[in-house]
Amino acid sequence: MYNVQHDHERILLMQHILYFHLKEVSNANNILVFTERSNISIKVDNETFRINNDCMIFIEKNCILDVTLLNNHRPSLIFLSDNIMNEISKIISVIDKFAYIKSNAKKSKILIRKANQEDFILFNNIKSEFGDNIITYDKISGPQLIKITSILLGFDISELTFILRKTKLTYKDKVIAILSQDLAYDWKVSNVSDKLYISESSLRKKLENEKTSFIKLLTTTRMNHALNLLVTTDLNVNVVSFKLGYKTTSYFIKRFKEHYGITPKQFLRQRTLP
């Protein structure tokens, strides 16, 4: 459901009916969650939120989370890149010109509210159009952007704008946004540097200054989304491997095990054991 950021972070799977627990996972993109019939628990910054069915949740990117599914219904997720959040920020600043000068906003990385019928319609409409793909600015139309903005406006606008104000794109964020456009593509650093209008050497240096690398970002972004797909969909390992751009399933399995310490099939088997 959520993304693991570092190779040393572990996945703990605890079985009781269809209960599972993901420990110390991190989301590389912002996430909009509709619990629908699911009940979940999310712990972030030593604060635990017990969230019931029919709730809308917004989770800021790069949170370290403990996530527990408490029944056998999985929530639905929409993944929002930073360039989408930048556009939404512009729209909200026009709608509420005073949102950015309010100082009493709760400084939370996760926003929760009860969903209404309009949320249900808008969320499922967006989900049906984008599925499990990460939504980036190049993929979205104006009406679709307004639908996402409408859902987000249901949250406390001061709390939401506090998060939006922190959305400043680093080169790491820019690279992740480009990779997220098509994770099945055979990305090379030259492809990304061309899109950013800088040389390969400049991009490598900028990423080095941010203590990362192109290969690390490509692998982490793919592995993060692999976990999302395995937890939130019924896609088999072969399909997940294909969607993430791996030429052979065996190589995908090898990289997954290196990243998470467990194979995809072991992960799926342990997640569903009674």
Q: What is the CATH number of the domain that holds 236?
A: 1.10.10.60
- For 16, 69, 77, 254, the CA distances from 40, given in Å and listed in that order, are 14, 5, 13, 30
Q: Which of the 8 DSSP states describes residue 75?
A: P
Residue at 44 is within a domain:
yes
CB 4 within 8 A of CB 25: yes
* Amino acid 21: pLDDT: 65
Evaluate if residue 16 carries a pLDDT over 50.
no
**Residue at 75 is within a domain:** yes
Determine, yes or no, domain membership for 149. yes
Q: For residue 127, give both structure tokens.
A: 């989900």
pLDDT tens digits, 25-58: 777 788 999 999 999 999 988 889 999 999 999 9
| Number of domains into which the chain is organized | 1
Residue 3 lies in a domain: no
CA-based nearest residue to 21, from 84, 83, 82, 68: 68
Residues 6+ positions from 206 with CB-CB distance below 8 Å: 171, 198
11 within some domain: no
Residue 9 lies in a domain: no
pLDDT in tens, 186-218: 999 999 999 999 999 999 999 999 889 999 999
For the beta sheet containing 30-34, the strands, ordered from the edge strand earlier in sequence to the opposite edge, are 110-114, 55-59, 30-34, 76-80, 134-135
- Torsion angle, CA of 99/142/123/59, rounded to 10 degrees? -40
| CB 77, CB 232: distance < 8 Å | yes
- Average pLDDT of the residues of the chain: 82
| 12 lies in some domain | no
The pLDDT, as a whole number, for residue 198 is 93
Please report whether residue 167 resides in a domain.
yes
- The residue segments making up the domain with residue 82 are 20-272
Report pLDDT digits (tens) over 136-173. 888 888 889 989 999 998 998 778 877 777 666 788 88
